[in-house]
Amino acid sequence: MRGGTSSVPPESAGARLDLVNASSFAAPRRGRKGLAHQLRILKITGSIPHFEIYLIVGVVLFTFFLDAVGAALTSIVTRGSILRRIAFSPLVLPLSVTVTACITFAVNLLAVAVFVAASKIAPQLDWLLIVPLLAEFYVFLLGVGLIMATLYVRFRDVAQIWELVAQLFIFATPIMYPVSALPVWAARIAYLNPFVQVMQDIRALMVGIGNEPRATVAAVYGSTGRLLPIGVALATFALGLLLFRRDAPRFAERV
């Protein structure tokens, strides 16, 4: 276990309260059953070392995902006049806005660094594994961004649908609550999402997993389980690139 002891600082009490409210929204229950569910989540989060780091990692990654995909979604339509006047590959547009989101993400990482320093967590050599995890995450979000950008050129209602999906996404994924709060079948589905796999792997590297079961994809699918979300990330990127290149010659006339 990384990051010293498994005790959770008092400052995370407010985060735990928000966690209970969010998890109740995601999976509403009534009466004693709902109370038992909330107490079970509190027990799980109490076993996670440095829960405030655990939480902020999820929030920062989620913000990066939303910023990058949201910027890529409108990148072609908002720059249609440039496409009509200058001959260049339209792929440059979603790439440029997602790179800009990467810069914002790097700035947000400073907040994570402040929390890590305040929690007196010593950096470990295996933190270098975070780099390929973020590369996988970027490939996935770029693929999603290319798909959304292509669809938005044809169907402008995609923007409103994406806003709704983004609001539901924060409750449908274990950002503010542990994966262990989900039943086994739901955890297996969640880990097919590269975002969840990357987020949980980074959390495990930085603060450990404490007594949390199903904390990483390997605990659910076995030692080769990471190949599943990695495959989903690559397939998403390949699909996005295929759709984008197919429609790219007609972007200028459609926007």
Q: What is the pLDDT of residues 9-32, one digit of tens each?
A: 444 444 444 444 444 444 444 445
| Count, residues in the chain | 255
Both tokens of 54, joined, read 């655990």
Name residues whose C-beta falls within 8 Å of residue 199's C-beta, 6 or more positions apart in sequence: 57, 58, 61, 173, 174, 175
Distances (CA, A) of 90 to 117, 138, 234, 245, 246: 42, 19, 21, 9, 12
DSSP classification of residue 128: G
pTM given for the model: 0.79
Q: Which one-letter DSSP state was computed for residue 179? A: G
Alpha-carbon distance of 115 to 103, in angstroms, equals 20
Cα atoms in the Cβ-side hemisphere of radius 13 Å centred on 99: 6
For residue 12, what are its two tokens?
């995370």
**40 φ, ψ (degrees, to nearest 5):** -65, -40
Looking at residue 22, its pLDDT comes to: 45
CA-closest candidate to residue 208, choices 58, 62, 59, 47: 47
Residues 6+ away with beta carbon under 8 Å from 196: 173, 174, 179, 190, 229
Per-residue pLDDT tens over the stretch 85-95: 887 888 999 99
Between 49 and 196, name the one with better pLDDT. Answer: 196
Query: Which among 18, 2, 43, 42 has a CA at the least distance from the CA of 175?
Result: 18
Mean pLDDT of 72-99: 88
Q: Please give the residue that has the higher pLDDT: either 16 or 103.
A: 103
Structure tokens at 18: 């928000």
Predicted confidence (pLDDT) per residue in 104-152, tens digit: 999 999 989 998 998 888 888 999 999 999 999 999 999 999 999 999 9
* 240 token code pair: 């996005």
Residue 176 DSSP SS3: coil
